[in-house]
Amino acid sequence: MDKVCIVGAGAIGGFIGARLALHGAAQVSALARGATLDALRTHGWRLREGGALRQGPVAASDEPAELGPQDLVLVAVKGPALAEVAPRLGPLLGPDTVVLPAMNGVPWWFGRGIAALGPEPLASVDPGGRIAGAIPFERVLGCVVHLAASTAEPGLVEHRMGQGLIVGEPGGGDSVRAQRIGALLRAGGLDVTVSADVRRDIWYKLWGNLTINPVSAITGATADRVLDDPLVRDFCSRAMREAAAIGERLGCPIEQSPTDRHAVTRKLGAFRSSMLQDADAGRPLELDAIAGVVHELGARLDVPTPNVDALFGLARLFGRTHGLYPG
């Protein structure tokens, strides 16, 4: 049976880990700490779906060496924590271990192989190349998460909607290992697509989240109120057009208008974005991987991004004022 370690057993990591364990798809462990570690050791995985609470076995530790080499390491920590976590993952990595970052925004490896960006790491998501130095690119499989879950308390995950994952080789194309990991995740009851261009899938999701997340965090407004204000909606559209222009330069074209995307988002109703939830809970904002990286990419590619820059600047100031973003 495959050995899978969940690094970051919060809402997304906890949901995927619990599903794999409950379906008997893998031997699932968790690298966790604090109250979450205590809860996992006491109760195992806990997942509430459709009003029913289900529990599954887990080996949980705050020491990677106690868990040992894995077949799959699924990283689901918040973006600001990854630079600290990545150097600790060595004991989990065997000769053929795959690392699957199931995280928001643009990942640290995104610029690898794009000639127009040059060899330097993206400073917004991997300052100094610390993450890339700890997690070799050859181990990485790209991932896009299309599900919503929350933690009612440490170690207790509540599934809200969706169960989709897109996985694929970061350099594009298909592979045996991508198909193998896709099959493993499907065995956990997840809806998995193996993509031949996961970088483009990542950029498309980012394009949709780029504005809703920080605008909702700054204003405290749910997504419906953001989109129902014509001035705010127009501002979001302008920022999205800038991001689409960057995508064209990166080989990640967007085949949709901002208006069409807004219509899709508006159908989801009065939801609270992940960044708004973090702001309300006093957690660090995942701002760099969602907005800061677009600001950086625009500068590197000489693509003007005045609206993205304004959005990033306002959200950064909001975060610093409230102690949610480094000063």
* Catalytically annotated residues: 205
Tokens of 216: 């909702």
Instruction: Spell out the residues 6+ positions from residue 156 whose beta carbon is closer than 8 angstroms to its own.
Output: 39, 43, 46, 48
120: region left, alpha or beta (phi > 0 left; psi from -120 to 50 alpha): beta
Q: Which of 62, 58, 46 is nearest to 152 (CA)?
A: 46
Q: For residue 93, give the H/E element and its range.
A: strand 93-101
126: region left, alpha or beta (phi > 0 left; psi from -120 to 50 alpha): beta
Q: Which of 78, 79, 44 is nearest to 157 (CA)?
A: 44
Distance CA 246, CA 315 (A): 21
43: region left, alpha or beta (phi > 0 left; psi from -120 to 50 alpha): alpha
CB atoms within 10 A of CB 1: 9
Burial grade of 167 (CB within 10 A; 0-12, 13-18, 19 or more) = buried
Instruction: Spell out the residues 6+ positions from residue 104 whose beta carbon is closer than 8 angstroms to its own.
Output: 78, 79, 145, 209, 274, 286, 289, 290
Tokens of 269: 């109703």
- 3-state DSSP assignment of residue 148: strand
Q: For residue 243, give the H/E element and its range.
A: helix 230-250
